[in-house]
Amino acid sequence: MARHWRAGAAGLAVLGLTLTACGGAKIGDNASGSKGSGKCGTFNLAVNPWVGYEADAAVVGYVAQHDLGCTVHKKDLKEEIAWQGFGTGEVDAVLENWGHDDLKKKYITKQKTAVAAGQTGNIGVIGWYVPPWLAKAHPDIKNWKNLNKYASKFKTSESGDKGQLLDGDPSYVTNDAALVKNLKLDFKVVYAGSETALIQAYRKAEKNKEWVIGYFYEPQWFTSEVPLVKVDLPQYKTGCDADAAKIACGYPTYNLDKIVSSKFAKSGSPAYDLVRNFKWSNDDQNTVAKYIAVDKMSPDAAAKKWVEANKDKVDGWVK
């Protein structure tokens, strides 16, 4: 999920807050584990709130537990809070980082509590999308310059007298509000509330021929169900998003990467080698995400199914 996302005000809460996490783990629990000398011990894995990341964590956690004997603690955390956990030992790894040069500067360069652990193999794309029926009926809507022509069609009770641009979880901070303002678009950003709600809005729009335009991204299993059509925003050029208030360009393409705590990288834990070696494709992630989101499999069952079908790939991670 999410994406060129930075944690909002809620995400700046201190790690000491007690937040329930997967597997019963809580922020504030003793998470130092017994790593060292090649023994895995406790492996604390952050899980950010989108199903693609959940797929990453499901598979890495499953392999860590079943192949390496780790005690895996998955912790449901917003991005900024997860990075705060590197310095306390409460988070060992973030498996899917979407850019976040700001967090890298703070935690890797300045605080030195985190280090990069290589790319995931996933290519991240962010943009504005419309349902297929709409792109077919009005082909010119695929160019941002024509959006004001159709703004009234996108009006909702939430957007008032402007067209609605639908975003996802309100804790995600995107460039969309700045884009709307700086491109002089007659739209208002409205939050669906979650990734699931955003998907349902697109699904309903395609089924009922409703007018919806919003933020979306790849990799995402949903695009195999409803092949959303991307709207062309002004081309991204290096530095065009340097000033958040003045952004008037589309999003870059992201080579998604992994970040781990400095302590974890030096621990001797085989889980670190697993994270460093973990690499798969957008199709791989979408497959597992679909098992979870559509087939309603548990993350562990989804991971087991994928791992058993991809033993050669997994063997390369735990060599």
Number of H helices, E strands in the chain: 12, 11
pLDDT tens-place string over residues 210-263: 999 999 999 999 998 999 999 999 999 999 999 989 999 999 999 999 999 999
pLDDT band at 39 (very low <50, low <70, confident <90, very high): confident
**Burial of 2: CB neighbours in 10 Å, binned 0-12, 13-18, 19+:** buried
- 59-100, pLDDT tens digit by residue? 999 999 999 999 999 999 988 899 999 999 999 999 999 988
Say if 4 falls within a structural domain. Answer: no
Distance from C-alpha of 98 to C-alpha of 100, rounded to nearest angstrom: 6
CA-closest candidate to residue 187, choices 141, 131, 244, 120 = 141
Residue 58 domain boundaries: 10-122+257-317
Whether 238 and 128 map to the same domain: the answer is yes
> Can you give the CATH number for the domain in which 306 is found?
3.40.190.10
- For the chain, how many structural domains are there in total? 2
Pairing outcome for strands 163-167 and 187-191: parallel
Residues 116 and 132 in one domain: no
* 240 & 265 share domain: no
Note whether residue 63 is domain-resident.
yes
Establish if 2 belongs to a structural domain: no
The CATH code of the domain that includes 154 is 3.40.190.100
Of 246, 280, 309, which closes a domain? 246
Its pTM surpasses 0.75? yes
**Which residue, of 246, 269, 300, is where some domain finishes?**
246
C-alpha to C-alpha distance for 280 and 156, rounded to whole angstroms: 40
Quick check: is 251 in a domain? no
| Claim to verify: residue 228 and residue 265 sit in the same structural domain | no
Please write the tens of the pLDDT for every residue from 152-161.
999 999 999 9
From 218, 246, 274, the end of a domain falls on 246
Helix (H, G, I), strand (E, B) or coil at 177: helix
Find residue 7's DSSP bridge partners: 172
What's the Cα-to-Cα distance from 310 to each of 167, 280, 304, rounded to whole Å? 34, 10, 10
